[in-house]
């Protein structure tokens, strides 16, 4: 299904950030020159791309289509994914708040940044695996072919009307910058 391929491709972008976020947490832990701003930029990506672009498509388009095809929201995989989205948002807020404190000169916030960055990356690695290996194949089985094409169109509409023109590209450029900063 084209729609789930779009989401899977976005997962690969998110995984690029998870990889450098893990590396940044490791470097911060041993004082290898990672600044609080790095984590603020990572939080911006998470909020804007992972949540604003990607989760918006899942929560606003895919999950309702799966529900319409008979997959219940509560007590099943959709409910689990929604709960994990909320937990990811919470961890991102905590990481951002700790990074702001660290940037303001509070050295004790360093441990909070590291803890929340690592918790977020662990959560998202597991979450992405569940979606790629369980939820998306389930969607492909239950959503009729005619409706699958509409999902991809709706994803494009979300990008255009809700996320905004050029926003996706802005976050892809941010991923490149985050990776570049962690090289070496």
pLDDT tens string 5-17? 999 999 999 999 9
pLDDT computed for residue 184 by the predictor: 63
Phi and psi based region of residue 72 (left: phi greater than 0; alpha: psi -120 to 50; beta: remaining) = beta
What does 76-139 look like in DSSP terms, one character per residue?
SHHHHHHHHHHHHHHHHHHHHHHHHHHHTT-TTHHHHHHHHHHHHHHHHHHHHHHIIIIIHHHH
Q: What is the mean pLDDT of residues 167-174?
A: 93
- pTM, to two decimals: 0.95
Range of the domain at 18: 2-182
Mean pLDDT score of the chain:
94
* pLDDT-based confidence at residue 164 (cuts at 50, 70, 90): confident
As a whole number of angstroms, the distance between CA 182 and CA 65 comes to 39
Please indicate whether residue 101 or residue 146 has the higher confidence score (pLDDT): 101
CATH number at residue 168: 1.20.120.520
Counted domains in the chain? 1
């Amino acid at each position: 299904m084209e729609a789930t391929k779009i989401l899977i491709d976005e997962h690969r972008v998110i995984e690029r950030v998870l990889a450098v976020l893990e590396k940044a947490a490791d470097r911060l832990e041993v004082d290898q020159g990672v600044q609080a701003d790095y984590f603020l930029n990572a939080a911006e990506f998470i909020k804007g791309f992972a949540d604003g672009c990607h989760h918006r498509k899942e929560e606003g388009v895919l999950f309702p289509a799966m529900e319409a095809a008979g997959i219940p929201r509560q007590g099943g995989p959709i409910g689990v994914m929604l709960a994990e989205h909320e937990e990811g948002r919470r961890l991102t807020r905590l990481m951002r708040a700790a990074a702001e404190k660290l940037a303001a000169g509070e050295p004790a916030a360093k441990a909070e940044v590291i803890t929340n960055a690592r918790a977020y990356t662990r959560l998202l690695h597991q979450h992405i695996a569940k979606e790629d290996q369980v939820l998306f194949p389930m969607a492909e089985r239950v959503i009729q072919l005619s409706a699958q094409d509409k999902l991809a169109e709706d994803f494009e509409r979300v990008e255009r009307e809700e996320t905004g023109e050029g926003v996706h590209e802005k976050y892809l450029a941010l991923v490149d910058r985050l990776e570049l900063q962690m090289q070496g």
